[in-house]
Chain A
C-alpha cells in the first residue's frame, strides 16, 4: 500500500495524524509530512479511515 497526499489540497488540520500518527505528522511548521509512505498492511484500516475523514480528500491509497 502506498500513501499519497495532494499537498495542494491539504489544509494541515491533522485529522489524519490523530487517526494514524505513525503514518502522518503535522509538524511545527504546520505542514503535513508522510512519515511512512508504504505502511504495512495491518495499518490499512487506519489509513483508509484517514482517507475517508480528511476534510479535503487530500489522501489517496495507491495499491
Chain B
C-alpha cells in the first residue's frame, strides 16, 4: 500500500507532526519523511511547561519527545529552525524559508500561538506561555529556593493554562491574582456550575480571582527597550501592582503561511471528515478544523490527546485511497493539573446541559459530574477520579445514553 508516495513533508515539528511521522513508519511507509519546524528545538511536550517543568520539578529530559536515537530509528529528515513560508496545493510545491520544494504528500501541523495583550510587545515582565523558551523565562522570574523572584503575579485570563500557571506560582510562594473578563471563570468549557467549583479551588488556595472585569491598560516603567511592567489597570478602574504578568487569553492557529495556497482557511485549516484538506494534503492538531461526524459540527480542538490521535489519523489518511479513508470521530478529552488536583473532561459540556454530580463531592474537590440533556449523555468531568472518568469516557465513545451512564455511576459508590 504505502508505495503511492515517495516523500512526505510534515510542517510543524511538535506533537501532531511527530505522531504523524511515527504513524507513517508504523504503517510501513518507507519513503522520505521531512519534519520541518520553525522552533530551534526538537519536538517537546507542552503540558509540563505550565506544570512540573515550570515548577522546576522535572528537567528538559522529561519534556523532550524526540532524541537522536528516535530520529535515526524513524529515519527522519529533521529540519529545525526552518519555516514554511508558502504553499501551492495544485502544483504540489511547498516553500520553506522562501525556497520552493516539491512534495508528494503534506501534513500540516503548525499548531497555534498565544494571543497577546496589545501594547505589551517588548515589555519586560509580561509573558505568554506556549514554548519551552516562554516557560524558561517565566520560571526564571518566579520565586525559587535561594531567590526571591516575583512576589506579585497577575494571570490575565482564567483559562486552563493560566490556571495552571496560577497554581504553580502559588506553590512557588507568590501572591497570585487572576483576572477574567467573563463573569463565569472556566464557564465556556465547563459550564457555569462547574466553572464555579474550579474558581473555588483557586480561591481556597489564596488566589485573588476577579471576574467580569477586563484589562484596560498595562502599566510600565521606563521607555523604549527598557520598559518593565509595574501593574495593570482594570476596566473598573482598579490598579493591580505586578512584578510578573502571564497572559493566557487563548490562541490563534498558525495559518498565515497558507494564504493563497488554494486551501480553505477559516479559523484553522478546513478539512473534510477524514482530515483531508486537499488531495495529498492533510492537517492535524491545534491548526486543523474538521467536521467531527460524531457531532456533525466543524470543530478545532486544542488538546494533547487530539493532536496525538489526529496526527496519527491524518498520516493514515495520507496513505489511504479515498475509498479506504475513514472519518475522524473522537470524543474529545483533556486533563489539567492544578495544585494537587487532576481535572479531566471528556466529551462536551453544553451551557444548557443538566449537570449532575454522580459521585464524590465538589466541596472536597474530588468528584465526577455528568453533562447531558434529553436522555443524551454528552460529557463527563472528573476531579481526582481518573478511573471513573475513563470508564465514563468509554460510554461516551459507545454513544451510551444518560440512563446507561447513571447505571455505570450507580456501581461507584
Within 8 A of B (CB), among A20-46: 25-28, 30
A13 touches B387 (CB 8 A): no
B304 touches A12 (CB 8 A): no
A13 touches B386 (CB 8 A): yes
Chain B 282-326 interface mask (CB, 8 Å, partner A; 1/0): 000000000000000000000011001000000000000000000
Partner of B387 from A25, A52, A55 at Cβ < 8 Å: A25
Q: B23 — nearest CB in chain A belongs to which residue?
A: A52
Q: A32 — nearest CB in chain B belongs to which residue?
A: B386
User: Inter-chain contact count A-B, CB under 8 Å?
Assistant: 38
Partner of A26 from B308, B387, B394 at Cβ < 8 Å: B387
With an 8 A cutoff between CB atoms, is B210 at the interface? no
Say yes or no: A14-B389 contact (C-beta < 8 A), given A30-B384, A53-B308. Answer: yes
Partner of A11 from B308, B342, B387 at Cβ < 8 Å: B342
Interfacial chain A residues near B50, Cβ < 8 Å? none
Q: How far is the CA of A20 from the CA of B344 in the complex (A)?
A: 19
Measured between C-beta atoms, what is the minimum distance from B344 to chain A in Å?
A: 7
Measured between C-beta atoms, what is the minimum distance from A20 to chain B in Å?
A: 12
Measured between C-beta atoms, what is the minimum distance from B107 to chain A in Å?
A: 18
A13 touches B344 (CB 8 A): yes
Q: How far is the CA of A9 from the CA of B337 in the complex (A)?
A: 15
A28 touches B387 (CB 8 A): yes
* Main DSSP-derived SS at the B contact region: helix
With an 8 A cutoff between CB atoms, is B335 at the interface? yes
With an 8 A cutoff between CB atoms, is B47 at the interface? yes
Interfacial chain B residues near A53, Cβ < 8 Å? 308
Chain B 336-356 interface mask (CB, 8 Å, partner A; 1/0): 010000101000000000000
Q: How far is the CA of A63 from the CA of B339 in the complex (A)?
A: 38
B386 touches A26 (CB 8 A): yes
B binding-site residues for A, Cβ under 8 Å: 22, 45, 47, 62, 304-305, 308, 335, 337, 342, 344, 384, 386-387, 389-390, 393-394
- Given A17-B390, A30-B384, 10 more contacts at CB 8 Å? A12-B342, A14-B387, A18-B390, A25-B387, A26-B386, A26-B390, A28-B387, A52-B22, A55-B47, A55-B304
A binding-site residues for B, Cβ under 8 Å: 9, 11-15, 17-18, 25-28, 30, 52-53, 55
Q: List 17 A-B contacts (CB under 8 A).
A: A12-B386, A13-B335, A13-B390, A14-B386, A14-B387, A14-B389, A15-B305, A15-B390, A18-B390, A26-B386, A27-B387, A28-B387, A30-B342, A30-B386, A53-B308, A55-B304, A55-B305
